Chain A
Amino acid sequence: MSDLLGNIPPDTSDSLAVLEKQRSTAEAFGIPLAVLLEITHRCPLQCPYCSNPVELDRSGKELTTDEWKKVLSELAEIGVLQVHFSGGEPTARKDLVELVKHASDAGLYTNLITSAVLLTRERLSDLADAGLCHVQISFQGVEEGLADRVAGYRNAHRKKLEVAKWTREIDLPLTVNAVMHRQNLHQLPDVIQMALDLDADRLEVANVQYYGWALKNRAALMPTVAQLDECTRLVEEARERLKGRLTIDYVVPDYYALRPKKCMGGWGRQFFNISPAGKVLPCHAAESITGLEFESVRSNHSIAWIWQNSDAFNRYRGTGWMKEPCKSCEFREIDFGGCRCQAFALTGDAANTDPACALSPLHETIFKQAEREAEGETNRFLYRNFAGGTLESENDA
């Protein structure tokens, strides 16, 4: 019985790992256990590190209710076990309860990843009745001043606290997702306490990853090395102290690592997501790589076919596409050359080594630049919106 938890991925960055025994329809690269559904890009918040692409899908392009239902049924059929309803802000879709119900009826484990500001107690309760299994609420800080400024939305923090309380009253499990960066890392001890006070089971201490919107805001967000070291120390201490009470997942910004992260568990190996318009993507930032064509669930192909056979998934799968220094690197099957989107954003070629890797010829330059930005005084945000971003007023920063 000691093998009970044998297949739990040992570290949290791999928490969506595929089970080892694969007998799925997608034999070579088994269908992922969990799929992220970005059902809309609409969101009342304007966080400057939003993980959505800079080119947002407008509401007119979103899949219809029936199209999403078909997707959910198909996912359950091919062996997906969990779906994460995300966005944008997933509660901005009027049909969310209906979609959760459909997913639950199909046997899927459902998770809501939300900013919470649009939820009423009644709607949350309806979601629970529809079979919702878990709620994850993002927080921008621990007090209104900073948190609302980061979100670009008045009273966001107060509303989030209220919804988190309802979540536990309804007896839904809660994860607090705290997105951390230079301007809020000093609040980390209070973030941990807030998660405890809100009776969360899980806390994600997620340092910003610098693609898309966050890359545009890097100078305002990048932590210093000292801040990050302190953050790691605090997380380790809290994990020990709160064992069995609060699980803490921890994501560091890869700029300060010597080795790149195994992004998405390797391109096309254990993860895909579906965009508001129905594109099946190897990661939520993949559309930032120009020159890749992504198949849609609206095409004639099944989702399993797209996963196995489409050019976008196969382009950077495995190691065959690699150039030096990845090609002959002993770690090539450990980190798969890092993040393709970051390689594209920083070097112009997604097949280059991710500059987060110390072996990248650009690593030194980019690391130094990030370090300079972290020591700098640029705190003004470029807020995320459909208009391509709005710069924060100088008085507010």
Chain B
Amino acid sequence: MAGPRHISVSETSRPVLPRHAKLKYDETRQVWVILAPERVLAPDEIAVEVLQLCNGERNVGDVADQLAAKYAAPREAILADVIVMLQDLADKGFLTEAREKTS
């Protein structure tokens, strides 16, 4: 069974898109989209970059480290932005946390 549905994003969470939300590049419209039940979301470029790093293994702190290094920007500001963005996605039901393997 699934774990707790609603997650609270922090520096130590290891978020990942759930099975029912798929990040995909839409060749026809030349935009990134998140496909979800009865919804198509259009993440902006930075959100896409964050989500591509969220593989369920990296935690949010690691993601902020990478972005801070890449853009030579202050880590704390990036971390705060990333948490807000991911929490927004989580509140809408499009983000989950990596679970322990049970098999």
Residues of A within 8 A of B93 (CB): 201-202, 244, 247
Pairwise interchain contact B41-A175, C-beta atoms closer than 8 A: no
Pairwise interchain contact B85-A4, C-beta atoms closer than 8 A: yes
Pairwise interchain contact B28-A23, C-beta atoms closer than 8 A: yes
Q: Least Cβ distance of B33 to chain A in Å? A: 7
Nearest A residue (CB) for B82: A1
Report the separation of the CA atoms of residues A202 and B43 in the bound assembly, to the nearest whole angstrom.
Answer: 21
Q: Say if the beta carbon of A171 comes within 8 Å of chain B.
A: yes
Residues of A within 8 A of B42 (CB): 5-8, 19
Residues of B within 8 A of A31 (CB): 28
Pairwise interchain contact B22-A109, C-beta atoms closer than 8 A: yes
Residues of A within 8 A of B1 (CB): 168-169, 171, 199
Q: Which of B18, B29, B41, B84 contacts A24 (CB 8 A)?
A: B29
Pairwise interchain contact A171-B19, C-beta atoms closer than 8 A: yes
Given the contacts A171-B2, A201-B93, A19 and B29 also touching, CB distance less than 8 Å: yes
Q: Which of B18, B39, B84 contacts A8 (CB 8 A)?
A: B39
Pairwise interchain contact A244-B19, C-beta atoms closer than 8 A: no
Q: Say if the beta carbon of A389 comes within 8 Å of chain B.
A: no
A-side interface mostly: loop
Q: Which of A5, A19, A171, A243 contacts B88 (CB 8 A)?
A: A5
Q: Which of A3, A17, A78, A133 contacts B20 (CB 8 A)?
A: A133
Given the contacts A7-B41, A34-B40, A81 and B33 also touching, CB distance less than 8 Å: yes
Q: Say if the beta carbon of A118 comes within 8 Å of chain B.
A: no
Q: Say if the beta carbon of B100 comes within 8 Å of chain A.
A: no
The total of chain A residues at the interface (CB under 8 A) is: 46
Q: Say if the beta carbon of A120 comes within 8 Å of chain B.
A: no
Pairwise interchain contact B47-A134, C-beta atoms closer than 8 A: no
Q: Say if the beta carbon of A309 comes within 8 Å of chain B.
A: no
Pairwise interchain contact B28-A201, C-beta atoms closer than 8 A: no
Residues of B within 8 A of A56 (CB): none
Pairwise interchain contact B41-A173, C-beta atoms closer than 8 A: no
Residues of A within 8 A of B89 (CB): 4-5
Q: Say if the beta carbon of B92 comes within 8 Å of chain A.
A: yes
Pairwise interchain contact A109-B35, C-beta atoms closer than 8 A: yes
Q: Say if the beta carbon of B73 comes within 8 Å of chain A.
A: no
Residues of B within 8 A of A290 (CB): none
Nearest A residue (CB) for B37: A134
Chain B stretch 62-101: residues in CB contact (< 8 A) with chain A:
81-82, 84-85, 88-93
Write the residues of chain B forming the contact surface with A, with a CB cutoff of 8 angstroms.
Answer: 1-2, 5-6, 18-20, 22, 24, 26-31, 33, 35, 37-44, 46-47, 50, 81-82, 84-85, 88-93
A-B contact pairs, 13 of them (CB 8 A): A4-B88, A7-B40, A7-B41, A7-B42, A17-B40, A19-B31, A23-B28, A24-B29, A81-B24, A136-B37, A171-B19, A201-B93, A244-B6
Top 3 A-B pairs ranked by shortest CB distance? A79-B28, A7-B42, A173-B20
Write the residues of chain A forming the contact surface with B, with a CB cutoff of 8 angstroms.
Answer: 1-8, 12, 15-17, 19, 21-25, 30-31, 33-34, 78-79, 81-82, 107, 109, 111, 133-134, 136, 168-169, 171-173, 175, 199, 201-202, 243-245, 247, 249
| Given A15-B39, A19-B26, A82-B35, 4 other A-B residues pairs in contact with their CB atoms under 8 A | A4-B43, A21-B29, A133-B35, A134-B37
